[in-house]
Amino acid sequence: MRVSKSETFVSILATRGRVFTVVVGSQPDPPNP
């Protein structure tokens, strides 16, 4: 299976984005000013 470099990059970004969203979502909301 051949995957282009840009497709791999987008896939990694999507995975990191999901993980980042999950991590941020699990944190308590910062107090609003």
What share of the chain has pLDDT > 70, as a percent?
A: 61
Residue 2 DSSP one-character state? -
CA–CA separation, 33 vs 31, rounded Å? 6
Instruction: Check residues 5 and 2 and name the one with the higher pLDDT.
Output: 5
Predicted pLDDT of residue 33: 63
Q: Taking residues 26-31, what's their average pLDDT?
A: 66
pTM of the model: 0.41
Diameter over CA atoms, the chain: 51
Half-sphere exposure of 17 (CA within 13 A, CB side): 6
Q: Taking residues 22-31, what's their average pLDDT?
A: 66
Predicted pLDDT of residue 2: 80
